[in-house]
Amino acid sequence: MGDTRPTSDFHARNFSTADLARMVAALDTQDAAQGVRRLRAWTQTALDPRPGERVIDVGSGTGSQTLALAAAVAPSGEALGVEANPALREVAEQRAAAAGSPARFLDGDALALPVPDATVDVVWCERVLQHLSEPDKAVGEIARVLRPGGRVALLDSDWGTALLHPGDPEAVAALTAGVLSVAANPYSGRRLAGQLTGAGLVIDDQGSQALIQDNTTVAWPLVHMLGDSTVRRGLMTEAQRDRLYADLAEAAEHGALHMSVTMFAVVAHRPA
Ligand SMILES: C[S@@+](CC[C@H](N)C(=O)[O-])C[C@H]1O[C@@H](n2cnc3c(N)ncnc32)[C@H](O)[C@@H]1O
């Protein structure tokens, strides 16, 4: 759970070098997570981007999935990452150049995609909607740019599924409830299908994977952030919090820790 948590400061414009390095490291850790890799593989098979197609990756981050999509539509297709954070867009461009990938990147907003109507064959949008206070508007933009018959994959976590074990159930419930305040749209995962049908698209398939934290390492920065805020809000005493920390630390020593959040993917198309 720790390395996959939503970070609302993705929107920040004035990044320090240290902020950028921290964010890139977090995204790289997520790229390497089994749950992310498995869900991406399942989704890419279901979405089936083909040579010659035009693809956009909305909220492309460091561009890892944009590069995978560019390879799938090569040699005659094109893949464009649209990213709100210019510092991340630059990282993606540097990585594409280093990898010899034809993927391109643009500064842009998911709420106003810099792409004309009905010109895109395939859209990918992964773990972006959870950060938006107007996610329906972003899905409406995706529907706008898709050509008739075009396909889309939305992938997102649902922070209502966060699990933490072991510990006193009341203390765990109070602490995991705090995770819901971290993202603008924390229940994004369960909302994806309804957002797509609401935008006039037809659902083709749905999949999921839990993002499971290493069972020997407590994600202390996240746990401390949540624990401290739970105590501040009067939902848990300091003694309960410290007991929970001790239970988690002890479980981790025996490989008995469980921290996870479930991520969902929905594939849909625009009717011809
Ligand atoms: C958790 S990261 C996911 C990055 C990438 N999709 C991936 O799966 O590795 C969320 C990304 O969404 C971008 N983002 C947030 N709000 C956005 C917006 N309104 N328009 C475009 N991108 C946005 C962030 O800058 C960040 O790169």
Pocket-testing residue among 82, 128, 155, 182, ligand 1, by greatest number of atoms within 8 A of Cβ: 128
* Closest listed residue to residue 127, CA positions, set 221, 43, 222, 20: 43
Is 170 domain-assigned? Answer: no
Is 232 domain-assigned? Answer: no
- Closest ligand 1 atom, CA of 27? 9
**H or E stretch at 269:** strand 258-269
> What are the angstrom distances between the C-alpha of 269 and each of 70, 78, 111, 149, 193?
20, 19, 19, 6, 12
pLDDT score for 165: 97
What is the C-alpha radius of gyration for the chain, rounded to an integer number of angstroms? Answer: 19
* Closest listed residue to residue 178, CA positions, set 6, 24, 3: 6
The model carries a pTM of 0.93
Host domain of residue 151: 2-159+183-211+265-269
Q: Whose CA is nearest to atom 26 of ligand 1?
A: 61
Is 258 domain-assigned? Answer: no
pLDDT, tens digit, 9 for 90 and up, residues 229-254: 999 989 899 999 999 999 999 999 99
Q: What is the C-alpha to C-alpha distance for residues 157 and 261, in angstroms, rounded to an integer?
A: 7
pLDDT, tens digit, 9 for 90 and up, residues 34-64: 999 999 999 999 999 999 999 999 999 999 9
**Mean pLDDT, residues 62-84:** 98
Q: Would the pLDDT of 138 be above 50?
A: yes
Is 223 domain-assigned? Answer: no
pLDDT score for 75: 97
Cα(57) to centroid(ligand 1), Å:
10
pLDDT interval class at 13 (50, 70, 90): low
> Is there a cis peptide before residue 116, judged by omega within 30 degrees of 0?
no
Q: What is the count of structural domains for the chain?
A: 1
Higher pLDDT, 87 or 5: 87
Residue 174 in contact with ligand 1 by CB distance below 6 A: no
Residue 10 in contact with ligand 1 by CB distance below 6 A: yes
Residue 2 in contact with ligand 1 by CB distance below 6 A: no
Q: What is the C-alpha to C-alpha distance for residues 32 and 153, in angstroms, rounded to an integer?
A: 20
Cα(106) to centroid(ligand 1), Å:
13
DSSP, collapsed to helix, strand or coil, labels residue 152 as strand
pLDDT score for 1: 43
Residue 124 in contact with ligand 1 by CB distance below 6 A: no
Looking at residue 61, which CATH number applies to its domain?
A: 3.40.50.150
- Closest ligand 1 atom, CA of 138? 19
pLDDT interval class at 83 (50, 70, 90): very high
Is 82 domain-assigned? Answer: yes
Q: What is the C-alpha to C-alpha distance for residues 198 and 213, in angstroms, rounded to an integer?
A: 34
